[in-house]
Structure 1
Amino acid sequence: MTLEAVFGMASTLAFFSWIALFVFYPRKWLYQTLFTGVLVLLGLTYMFYVLPALLGTPEGGFNSLAEVRALFQSDEALLAGWIHYLAFDLFVGMWITKDAWDKHISRWLVLPCLILTFMMGPVGLLTYMLVRAANTRQLNQSPYHP
């Protein structure tokens, strides 16, 4: 299978997972499907591409921007990086919807947060934190705070 095909399938799977997350987010079966199906599949695909890419790049590393850039010189490593974003952003979106449901925050207030998380991960999470603080009237953003 070509790297472009894997890229397309992973991106499509993530996109439809995001749609399902908004439409069906209070449903337990959705979280089970996303956790045990989609995230596991993305994780296994990531491992398949990242391990050879990282092990085959002796000049790459994590100690400088130049070393990180060297890690992503291969298309396999770039694909792995993309899948990494897809999986982690989806996980964050899942947490956002579950937390919003538990705190009785309107799904329509959550929708922009999900779109931003899908497109720009940390910006969406920050937006949700602000929505959460405004709706709960609490600045404490600990997940353990009621």
Structure 2
Amino acid sequence: MTAVLFSLTFLLAAPFWALMIFVPRWSWTKRIVESYLIILPVVAIYVVLMIPVLPELLPLVTRPELPALAEFMSTDTGAALVWAHMIAWDLFVGRWMYLEGRRLNVHPLVMAPVLVITILLAPVGLPLFLIVRKVCDTENRGATVVTRQ
């Protein structure tokens, strides 16, 4: 079952990435991606994988030690759990980036590569998008979103 859930994890997220990358200006894309619910299928997989190993997982996240964490992640369940965590978080961040890009009217040919990099290497994609956002936010509208001023 773990292998099936592992395989299913990205398949559940991929349609949303496809919408944001390939048809970003389609009216339904924005409607769909605006919903936080797009992340729930992957989160559900995470929860299903997590519950049986919760007693083992809690000490690893509350008092992390590299050898114990490496040992846990070397198991099928540990790897699938980390994968689901990564996919859920990447989709959440990608969703925010897409919506910010739309709000700032960033061209889809700029956003698409940034989103692809985020799928593959989110810790690189996020700062790359923050640079794009800074360049495109000429009126400092990002601060307005946060402060409402």
TM-score (norm 2): 0.79
Indicate yes or no: 2:117 matched with 1:112: no
The residue aligned with 1:30 is 32
Structure 1 unaligned residues grouped into runs of 5+ = none
Detail structure 1 runs of 4+ shifted over 6 Å in the superposition: 138-141
The residue aligned with 1:48 is 48
The count of aligned residue pairs is 143
Q: Which has the higher contact order (CA 8 A, sep 6+)?
A: 2
The amino acid across from 2:17 in the alignment is: W
Q: State the distance in 2 between where 1:125 and 1:111 align.
A: 13
Sort the Cα spacing of 1:108 and 1:3 in 2 relative to 1 into closer, same or farther, 3 A. Answer: same
How many Å apart are 1:67 and its aligned residue? 3.2
How many Å apart are 1:41 and its aligned residue? 1.5
Structure 2 unaligned residues grouped into runs of 5+ = none
The amino acid across from 1:46 in the alignment is: Y
Q: Identity across aligned pairs (percent)?
A: 20
User: Deviations 1:48-80 (Å, cap 9, x if unpaired)?
Assistant: 112322313687454322232233243112211
Indicate yes or no: 2:8 matched with 1:9: yes
TM-score (norm 1): 0.81
The amino acid across from 2:119 in the alignment is: F
